[in-house]
Amino acid sequence: MSTAVSYIIGILAIGFIIFFHELGHCLIAKKNGVLVEEFSIGMGPRIFSFGKGETKYSLKLLPFGGSCQMLGEDGGIPDEETESEAAKYPPERSFQNRPVWGRIAIVAAGAIFNFILAFVCALIIIGTVGVDKPVLVDVMEGYPAEAAGLQAGDQITKINGKPMAFYRDVLIELQFTDPLSDVKVTYLRDGEKHETVIRFQYDEEDQRYYLGIVGSTANRVKVGPLQVLRYGLSEVRYQVGLVFRSLRMLFGGQASINDLSGPVGVVSMINETVQESKSDGLLYVVLNVLNLMALISANLGVVNLLPLPALDGGRLLFLLIEAVRGKPIDRTKEGYVHMAGMVLLLLLMVVVLFNDIRRLF
């Protein structure tokens, strides 16, 4: 599989994630009686478009981004063109004139659809190859886990009170645990629940801290249909947790803006994944791309719900305030807030794009 093909796969994957996000807005808007003027995939000049019913459907030149343009959605800053267009339709078809909880549902639908897409991807992966249960393969001799009585075959169920669905959960949790603190481990052995407290041991040769447990994310076990659903939900929870950990690192100074990746960086990452997976066969290429799509979709869902201007979360914040107050905040002022947020967001996108291109070369 050539590099060009894998880049096309990356572009199509991102395009589908954005399409599904905007589809959420579109379907719930139509369900609430709001006129959807244009549903578009991509940004910039239109390549082609067609009308069906009241809505124009467009494909645009740049394969990143998309929009679901609703009548009256950006009515905070009025202009003659939008007011003229709104006059052609009954007032109740405007987004701004729908009940507040309907508008909340419309705005939240994009992120919710992202979580649904992540869940569907997880179901396909787990249904195909199973799950990496948090079962110990071995315990390192002379390390704290052995001294605490852990054995091969023990299934870790919790670490410091947090549920462990996959062995990958164990790795991530231990990675973010203070190596000088106690680690409370809950595990099952022969169906019986046990608890123990372990401390990391520093290895002078490797200059790392170890508990001494050995597992594998490659040891996958097939599960039944109901467990596929349960583990699918756990997978989405894991992905959402990763996003929040990354955000905490960003705002806590452990990561910087230079570590962020935009569409170009994501496409490059998908290309690398495809190239690394192709020797294992087409099935593993598809599964690894689906895994990345699930993570990216969950990431997009979480980030869009952040209460920041111009994002869906910022709009939701204004709508929730309106629901509590019983009346909206002045829509012109809200419009200016979102406009300022959009300018800052575009600046951030320029910086991230620059970082993505710099990393490529």
Query: Per-residue pLDDT for 260 more than 80?
Result: no
Both tokens assigned to 53: 């019913």
Q: What is the pLDDT of residues 125-183, one digit of tens each?
A: 999 999 999 999 999 999 999 999 999 999 999 999 999 999 988 988 898 888 899 99
Give Cβ neighbours of residue 354 (< 8 Å, ≥ 6 apart).
Answer: none
**CA–CA gap between residue 153 and residue 164 (Å, rounded):** 15
For residue range 69-116, list pLDDT tens digits in order: 999 876 544 444 445 555 677 888 888 889 999 999 999 999 999 999
Tokens of 216: 């594998």
Dihedral sign for Cα 145, 148, 154, 156, please: negative
| DSSP state for residue 156 in the 8-state scheme | E
Residue 151's contacts (CB-CB under 8 Å, 6 or more residues apart) are 136, 139, 189
Domains of the chain: 3-126+292-360 (no CATH), 138-214 (2.30.42.10)
275, 303, 302: which is closest to 289 by C-alpha?
Answer: 275
For residue 1, the model assigns a pLDDT of: 65
Q: How many CA atoms lie within 13 A of 197 on its CB side?
A: 3
The pLDDT value recorded for residue 76 is 45
Nearest to 313 by CA among 327, 302, 321, 324: 302
Of the candidates 293, 316, 306, the residue with the CA atom closest to the CA atom of residue 107: 316
Q: Which of 133, 114, 299 is CA-nearest to residue 230?
A: 133
Sort strands 192-199 and 182-189 into parallel, antiparallel or unpaired: antiparallel
Of 332, 344, 341, the residue nearest 308 (C-alpha): 341
Q: CA distances (Å), 330 to each of 75, 89, 262, 336, 351, in order?
A: 11, 23, 33, 10, 32
User: Tokens in use for 175?
Assistant: 């990675």
**56: Cα within 13 Å, side-chain hemisphere:** 12
Closest CA to 337 of 76, 68, 69: 76
Ordered alpha helix ranges (H), the chain: 3-31, 80-86, 100-129, 144-147, 167-175, 225-251, 263-277, 282-304, 312-325, 331-360
How far does CA 140 lie from the centroid of its chain?
Answer: 35
Q: Are strands 162-163 and 182-189 parallel, antiparallel or unpaired?
A: unpaired
Task: Give the tens place of pLDDT for each residue, 281-313.
Answer: 888 889 999 999 999 999 999 999 999 888 899
Q: Quick one: what percent of the chain has pLDDT higher than 70? A: 95
Q: What is the pLDDT of residues 1-43, one digit of tens each?
A: 677 888 888 888 988 999 999 999 999 999 999 999 999 988 8
Structure tokens at 225: 């249909």
Mean pLDDT of the 247-267 span: 76
**CA–CA gap between residue 40 and residue 42 (Å, rounded):** 6
CA-wise closest residue to 359 among 260, 278, 288, 274 = 260
Q: Are strands 138-139 and 55-70 parallel, antiparallel or unpaired?
A: unpaired
SS3 175: helix
How many CB atoms are located within 10 Å of the residue 126 CB? Answer: 22
pLDDT value at position 361? 67
The per-residue pLDDT for 79 is 47
Q: Which of 22, 173, 235, 334 does the annotation list as catalytic?
A: 22
Residue 322 appears among annotated catalytic residues: no
Summarised one tens digit per residue, pLDDT across range 226-256 is: 999 999 999 999 889 888 888 887 777 777 7
pLDDT tens digit sequence for 315-346? 999 999 999 988 888 888 888 888 888 888 88
CA atoms within 13 Å, Cβ hemisphere of 54: 16
CB 45 within 8 A of CB 61: yes
